[in-house]
Structure 1
Amino acid sequence: MAIRFMQRNLARPLTTGEIVAAAGTSERSLRRQFQRFTGQSPIAFHRLLRLEAARHALCDNHSKADITTAAGMHGFNHLSHFTGQYRRRYGELPSATLRALHEVSLPLPSHAMCEPISLIVLPFICTDSESSNAAFAETMTDRVISALTRTRWLNVLSPDSDLPAANNMRVAPPCARYAVRGRVQCIGGRVQAVIRLIDVTTGRQIWGNAFEGAAECAMELQQRVMEGVASALPACLRDTEAIRGKPKPERDPVAVRYATQAFHAILEMTQAANGCALEHLDRAQSIDPEFPFARALAAWCHAQRAACCFGDTADVDRDKARRLTTLTLTMDNEDPLVLAILGHASTIFADLDLGSLLIEKCLAIDPGCLLAWQRRGWLSVYRGGGGALADFDRALALNPRGAERFNTMLGISQAHFLAGNYEEAANWATQGLRQRPHETWARRIAAVAQVRCGQVTAGRQGVELLRRQYPDITVGTIVNALPTMPAELLARQAEALESAGLPI
């Protein structure tokens, strides 16, 4: 109640008496609880909320607020005091925030089209033997072809009906630049259709989506698939074609190999793998100092070190991640994978606005980027809004068995925790940990959900394992390591961690 009252009153400083009255408790109890769960006094906590709101106003392209206006709107009447507090909180002056917003230019690619694009819709595969589902897949193929032919600049080719469907999924005629592939499967009375757009020349997936519905509502599902493909796929092709012809500098193959090894190591989310990734990236950048992909991965590595307490200097790692992100964007702000990686890093070092901007641009260029959908889900969690589960589901559908699945499952757990579905949150976190039983840091996510849904013993066991690897870990350490989150969500997590046996 106190936090909600603070959030509704960000335009001026509050007195302790006002907060006490709103919370309906004693001043002593209020101070004690805030110190336990946030490590701060109520007044200091409210000041941070006002600072966060002022920063959001500075970063909002629509508000066009200058420093004096953003400070005054949130009760900071002494500009010098505001500047000092802002710098201590975010590691930069308010003027630097405004300058970075204007300097980082992230234009979306042009939608100009020069010539028709050849595309083939291959027969959709049915993964079970029921004739009704096979017929459903065949009908869906025809409807998608019909929908796409309405786009005048698309040259939609029909598949060879004499070619077996299993082979059609792998082969496209030489004249087709892109191929649409689909898979239909029945799972427990529900039908799922997964659609992918593939660049035939490179084999790269550039768009994908999953649609699901009840088996008895097959016509409705077909309509949703047809409308979804017809609306999203042409836009994706416009963006892809706009950047397709841009020359990319040749990269040293050894540097590329080191960077690729680092990428897979980062996905492991362990201290040892993170250290190994940094070594690989040092080698890659010593060979090719202007390699944006390697520089972006280095930013992600340092952000991961700070968020997972892999090092002793979290603030230093955050600053390194921030500087590397800015530097990489001056080198390349159009490669979708680089944008997705920098979106991860920006989110972790608490610049949610930049992270959101990078992720949205990545998806505008490459709507099939799994990392971007995953990070979009996390951004929704950090902002305390809805939509996270839909984004995580999209990420799972794009690659159900990839190494990224672990982080997506943890995200789904946090989304359910945010919504108060603690049993679901515990189940998803437990599923993720079954895949990686030696992953220790993630046990904090499982522990808070388990405590909240009554599985206190399991939560305490997870915290005990966490403390074995991090003997000095406390509730405050974890809260400070997390990216910016809604204050109420942080308080719930802190309370659950304390109940699981983690010291304050």
Structure 2
Amino acid sequence: MARKRSRSAPGQMTRDACAATSNGGGRRLVVVAAFDVVSFTALVEADEERVLAAWRALRGDIDPLIAAGGGRIFKALGDGLLVEFTSPVEATRTALIVQETTARTAAGQDAAVRLEMRCAIHMGEVTVEGTDLLGDGINIVSRLQAHAPVGGVLVSAAVMDLISGRLSQPIEELGPLTLRNMSRPVHAYAVGPKAPGSRTDPRTGAIDSFQRRRPSIAVLPFVDQAEDEGASWFSDGLVEAIIAALACLPELIVISRSSVLRYRGQAHDPERVRRELAVRYMLTGSVRRDGAPESGRVRLSAELCDCETGTAIWSDRFAGAAADLFQLQDELSARVVTTIAPQVQESELRRVLKKHPESLDAYESVLRGLDLLYRVEDDPWAKALPLFERAMALDPSYASAYALAATCHGERFYEGTSPDPTADQMEAERLSRLALSYDRFDPLALSLCGHIRSWLFHDYDHAIELFDRALAANPSAAIAWLRSSATFSYIGETREARRRVEIGLRLSPYDAHVFFSYGLAALAAYADGDYLEAASWGRRSMALNPRFVGNLRFLAASLAARGQFKEAHEVGRALLRVNPTFSARKFAAGHAFKDAEKRRLFGEHLVMAGLPE
């Protein structure tokens, strides 16, 4: 049994949460560590009695360490262990402690009974049968440990994306490894003292998974060749679908849709795109749709360009019935991936391509709503919400429609424009939960639900588990990196909060709503006590949206904390113009900061900014 904690480790999923996310009790997303004793058969053959005694003694030392780290040994083999964890961070920390203990024990033994282990960690879906776990995830980790360094810990890319920057350990990238009897290679990393050749981040002691040498791509807005030149929503929606498919692959870094819309209607200069978005590749194209949604024809053309050389790698045309639009999108996405990340196998592509809606009319409603959300105008949420509600009515199991409707309710609250904040919060949670019930790996729904669990209910453990699932499903989900930053600010893990904002801004630097991201950066800096940096981010956010109350609160508090009372009072007055009933101490007392002293200090800073108590 896992030890009880006041707060779980970052990324930890509680047992109840795991049960809640299982599929009818038969499937579950878990982290599994495989330990194996090196050359155990040969050692036993040479001196069976002493070696088995040494193994029993070692188990007596390491089993309590595994339990203390939240691990459950679900299979004890003659020469190894399979252990289930609910947190990739805790699994890796525990594995390093186990290996350190094993090495210390071995140092005092003679060679005949000296036991050393390899360890590998992987995260994936498994089948639950009683207390046992079975399936592809178990096969992968069992074969992966054979590649681990003796005395070391090896993790898959799925785990690395969730522990990067959160462990002060050296890391060595091993690249894609071919596993016995498995067609698809697994990208792996050695973690800890047994990875001496690694390059570490001088600030954190760990390599940031987002700085690894992965192909990066921007999918620029396609030209819509419809007769109505203003009808860009269809081509923009096509780009959204392609980005969503590509972003689910950990092998790629994909710039968010909201940051590429600025290139709509412009000549696509590879050098400019490379410089502004820091990507290696760009995909451009055009789309033409003739006839009715269900019975017409669709023609796509696309070109993949290497931005470093400015040369086209390939260009192609795709055509078919309008009813086959999703198939055309998938074919185009697959062509891109197999060109710039050829190690991705067909089975992996099938896994990441999103579930498509049943109704093309529902799909069109979502595309029109998305188009409204990304236009810079007053209250886009109220305008887009009816379209998402129509999509839900046309296709009651369309997960993205529910998630986007939840976004509308949530954003009205966060921006301070909600006529009924409590009702919008509750509706945002209800709709995001429904989205997860229809697609429990939808990154948007997971991110929104996680943010709501943290902000509204202060359920930080569950929130982090949801964010981890979002990033496991889509490592390039800017919304997951950004929204999860707030939760780490609330619980005081400010270095991680600031790192996540940086990654989110890297993925979405030109979002039409980047003021929200700047506000999150201000929150992270304020929580860290860096009021100068917080004020700098807050000013940038206010310059883009002077009515965004979520930022004005922290900007006013940061300025007051620095003694810049004149500017703090000006910001406070701007806040009151948007939210006349704001109460500083009442708001601060109910804020999501976990630490009571942080809440008290926040209230003091708001009062110092001239806001009513």
TM-score of Structure 1 vs Structure 2, range by shorter chain: 0.5 to 0.7
**Which residue of structure 2 aligns with residue 497 of structure 1?**
606
**Which residue of structure 2 aligns with residue 103 of structure 1?**
20
State the percentage of identical aligned residues. 23
Secondary structure of 1:346's counterpart equals helix
| Gapped regions of structure 1 (runs ≥ 5) | 1-10, 12-52, 65-97, 114-145, 156-167, 172-176, 184-190, 206-232
* Aligned equivalent of 1:368, options 469, 476, 481: 476
**Which residue of structure 2 aligns with residue 383 of structure 1?**
491
**Which residue of structure 1 aligns with residue 576 of structure 2?**
467
Q: Deviations over 1:31-65 (max 9, x none)?
A: xxxxxxxxxxxxxxxxxxxxxx87979x9756x6x
| Gapped regions of structure 2 (runs ≥ 5) | 23-27, 30-123, 126-135, 141-172, 187-216, 221-245, 256-274, 285-299, 305-339
* Aligned equivalent of 1:429, options 538, 544, 555: 538
1:458 paired with 2:567, answer yes
Change (3 A) 1:181 1:283: closer
Change (3 A) 1:246 1:256: closer
Deviation, 1:263, is 4.8
Change (3 A) 1:461 1:251: farther
* Aligned equivalent of 2:597, options 474, 488, 501: 488
Deviation, 1:414, is 1.3
d(CA) in 2 for partners of 1:268 and 1:382? 31
d(CA) in 2 for partners of 1:445 and 1:383? 16
Q: Deviations over 1:355-381 (max 9, x none)?
A: 211211121122111111112222211
d(CA) in 2 for partners of 1:433 and 1:147? 44
User: TM-score w.r.t. structure 1 length?
Assistant: 0.54
Deviation, 1:447, is 0.8
* Aligned equivalent of 1:330, options 437, 440, 457: 437
* Aligned equivalent of 1:356, options 451, 460, 464: 464
* Aligned equivalent of 2:512, options 392, 399, 403: 403
**Which residue of structure 1 aligns with residue 227 of structure 2?**
none
Change (3 A) 1:198 1:359: farther
Deviation, 1:315, is 3.5
Change (3 A) 1:193 1:60: closer
Contact 2:454–2:592 (Cα < 8 Å) also in 1 = yes
* Aligned equivalent of 2:391, options 284, 289, 292: 284
Secondary structure of 1:297's counterpart equals helix
Deviation, 1:101, is 5.9
Contact 1:181–1:196 (Cα < 8 Å) also in 2 = no
Change (3 A) 1:417 1:273: same
Deviation, 1:495, is 0.9
Counterpart residue type for residue 316 of structure 1: A
Deviation, 1:456, is 1.1
1:392 paired with 2:501, answer yes
Change (3 A) 1:312 1:193: closer
Counterpart residue type for residue 520 of structure 2: G
**Which residue of structure 2 aligns with residue 40 of structure 1?**
none
Contact 1:389–1:412 (Cα < 8 Å) also in 2 = yes
Change (3 A) 1:307 1:295: same
* Aligned equivalent of 2:355, options 243, 248, 251: 248
d(CA) in 1 for partners of 2:390 and 2:443? 23
Counterpart residue type for residue 449 of structure 2: L
d(CA) in 2 for partners of 1:476 and 1:268? 35
Contact 1:475–1:498 (Cα < 8 Å) also in 2 = yes
Deviation, 1:275, is 2.5
CA RMSD, 1 decimal: 4.8
**Which residue of structure 1 aligns with residue 163 of structure 2?**
none
Contact 1:346–1:354 (Cα < 8 Å) also in 2 = yes
Change (3 A) 1:483 1:255: farther
Secondary structure of 2:379's counterpart equals helix
The equivalences for 1:12-411 within 5 A come to: 102-105=19-22, 107=29, 108-109=124-125, 194=278, 241=348, 243-244=350-351, 248-263=355-370, 272-311=379-418, 313-350=420-457, 351-385=459-493, 386-411=495-520
Contact 1:303–1:321 (Cα < 8 Å) also in 2 = yes
Change (3 A) 1:332 1:469: same
* Aligned equivalent of 2:558, options 449, 456, 479: 449
Deviation, 1:498, is 0.8
Secondary structure of 2:357's counterpart equals coil
User: TM-score w.r.t. structure 2 length?
Assistant: 0.46
Secondary structure of 2:475's counterpart equals coil
Deviation, 1:281, is 2.3
Q: Deviations over 1:308-334 (max 9, x none)?
A: 544454443333333323322221112
1:416 paired with 2:518, answer no
Deviation, 1:193, is 11
Secondary structure of 1:442's counterpart equals helix
Counterpart residue type for residue 482 of structure 2: Q
d(CA) in 1 for partners of 2:521 and 2:469? 23
Structure (1 or 2) with the greater strand fraction: 2
Change (3 A) 1:424 1:357: same
Change (3 A) 1:255 1:362: same
Contact 2:535–2:555 (Cα < 8 Å) also in 1 = yes
Structure (1 or 2) with the greater helix fraction: 1
Q: How many residues are paired up?
A: 334
d(CA) in 1 for partners of 2:497 and 2:301? 31
Change (3 A) 1:240 1:403: farther
Deviation, 1:294, is 1.5
Change (3 A) 1:367 1:424: same
Deviation, 1:438, is 4.5
Secondary structure of 1:462's counterpart equals helix
Counterpart residue type for residue 409 of structure 1: Y
Q: Which moved more, 1:257-266 or 1:429-438?
A: 257-266
Contact 2:218–2:282 (Cα < 8 Å) also in 1 = no
Change (3 A) 1:376 1:273: same
Q: Which moved more, 1:300-309 or 1:333-342?
A: 300-309
Q: Deviations over 1:143-172 (max 9, x none)?
A: xxx9757768569xxxxxxxxxxxx9999x
d(CA) in 1 for partners of 2:465 and 2:420? 28
d(CA) in 2 for partners of 1:300 and 1:321? 7
**Which residue of structure 2 aligns with residue 44 of structure 1?**
none
d(CA) in 2 for partners of 1:266 and 1:486? 35
d(CA) in 1 for partners of 2:356 and 2:523? 40
Counterpart residue type for residue 484 of structure 2: R
Contact 2:522–2:534 (Cα < 8 Å) also in 1 = yes
**Which residue of structure 2 aligns with residue 79 of structure 1?**
none
Deviation, 1:262, is 4.3
d(CA) in 2 for partners of 1:267 and 1:55? 37
Q: Which moved more, 1:450-459 or 1:101-110?
A: 101-110
Deviation, 1:424, is 1.0
Contact 1:307–1:482 (Cα < 8 Å) also in 2 = no
d(CA) in 1 for partners of 2:422 and 2:577? 24
**Which residue of structure 1 aligns with residue 151 of structure 2?**
none
Q: Which moved more, 1:102-111 or 1:272-281?
A: 102-111
d(CA) in 2 for partners of 1:428 and 1:407? 10
Contact 1:450–1:458 (Cα < 8 Å) also in 2 = yes
